[in-house]
Amino acid sequence: MKITVLNGSPRKNGNTQIMVEALKEGAEKNQQEVTILNVANKNIKGCLGCKYCYSHGGTCVQKDDMVHILDELKNTDMVVFASPIYWFDITAQLKTVIDRLYACGSTGFHFHKTALLLDAGADHVFDAAITQYKAMTSYLKWEDMGIIKVPNMLEKGSMKVCPQLEEVRKFGESLK
C-alpha cells in the first residue's frame, strides 16, 4: 500500500514531524511505501471557488505547488492528515490543502483510506479538527483508519519522550 502523509506543521523537526516519522517507520516495517509531504512550506493558495476544475478534468486554474500534491495523491492508497492544533483546529496550511482537494470533486479520489494525527500543547482542544475530519470522511465515503491525538506537547521535541509515540509507530505497523 502506498501512504501519503500531508504534514501541516510549519515547524521543522517539531512534534508533528516526529510523530509522522514514527508512523512512517512503523508502516515501512510491513513493506508499506510512505511519502511525507510537508505542505506548510509549499506555495499553495486558497481555493477560489471558481469551479474551473469541474470543467477541466480536475485541473485547478491556479498553478502553484498544489499541482504536485494532487499528482502525488493520484498514486496513493491512503492519506494521513497530520497537524498540530493551532487555535483549536488544524493549521491553516493543511486546511488550505484540504480546501484545494475540491478540484478532485469532479473526478473523484484515487484513495479511500485516511487517518488523522494530531498533537497539541494542551488537552481538550481537538474537537474542531476531529469534527471536520469525520464530516469529510463521512461525506466522501473515505474509510477512517484511525485518529491519534497527543496532548500536552508543550516544548519542541516533547514528542521524542512521549509514551504515545509508540502508539503512533504501532498504528503505522497495523496499516495494510
HEC readout, 58-125: CCCCCCCCHHHHHHHHCCCCEEEEEEECECCECCHHHHHHHHHHHHHHCCCCCCCEEEEEEECCCCCC
pLDDT > 90? residue 83: yes
138-158 pLDDT tens trace:
999 999 999 999 999 999 999
31-79 pLDDT tens trace:
999 999 999 999 999 999 999 999 999 999 999 999 999 999 999 999 9
Q: Is 1 exposed, middle or buried (0-12, 13-18, 19+ CB in 10 A)?
A: middle
How high is the pLDDT of residue 105?
85
Round to whole Å and give the CA distance between 120 and 118: 7
Q: Report phi then psi at 171, rounded to 5.
A: -60, -45
How high is the pLDDT of residue 164?
95
Round the average pLDDT of the chain to a whole number and report it. Answer: 96
The answer to whether 117 and 86 are in contact (CB under 8 A) is: no
Round to whole Å and give the CA distance between 130 and 28: 26
